[in-house]
Amino acid sequence: MTQEINPFGPIVLFFTGVLIAMLVQMIWEAVSPKLLAWLDKRSLVDVGELYTMESDKLCKLVAGKMITYLASDSSVTFSGVRRFKHKKTMYEGFGQKSYRRYLNVDVRDLDDGNERKFRNLSVSGIQRVEPLWAYQLRMLATPIHFS
């Protein structure tokens, strides 16, 4: 007993896949601006609030999260905006000369090949703190512009 293969089967399958891809794209384009707005409300940080926050509360806030940090001078990025995945806070305190509050942290540097580094991050330079899943959604929802 032999079965005959429908010659139009692959063509129907191809066009079904194209229609599903177009539908998913339309839904994503409708949802992604709202998703970005929702993520922004949840992850933007008030620097004044961080400066006055208790040490243990500040360390819990950044624990295991993605930190977007504005470095005054960066050799890695042109804009100075850096992205770190927080692993562990080693120390939290104030600088002896500058009197600025800082965190001594063990991080993964996303802008430098996901390298493990130890950094002193000034609390005033922290712009955004968000869970890894929120960071990944932000990257998916942000349009890429090619020039």
Strand order in the sheet with 101-109: 115-122, 101-109, 81-94, 66-70, 126-130
**What torsion, rounded to 10 degrees, do the Cα atoms 107, 110, 114, 115 define?**
-50
pLDDT score of 139 more than 70? yes
**Would you state the structure tokens that stand for residue 139, as one six-digit string?**
């990257």
Q: Which amino acid, residue 72? A: S
pLDDT tens, residue by residue, 69-99: 888 776 666 667 888 999 999 888 888 888 8
Q: For the chain, give the mean pLDDT.
A: 84
Alpha-carbon span 87 to 11, nearest angstrom: 50
Residues 28-55 have a mean pLDDT of: 80
Report pLDDT for 18. 94
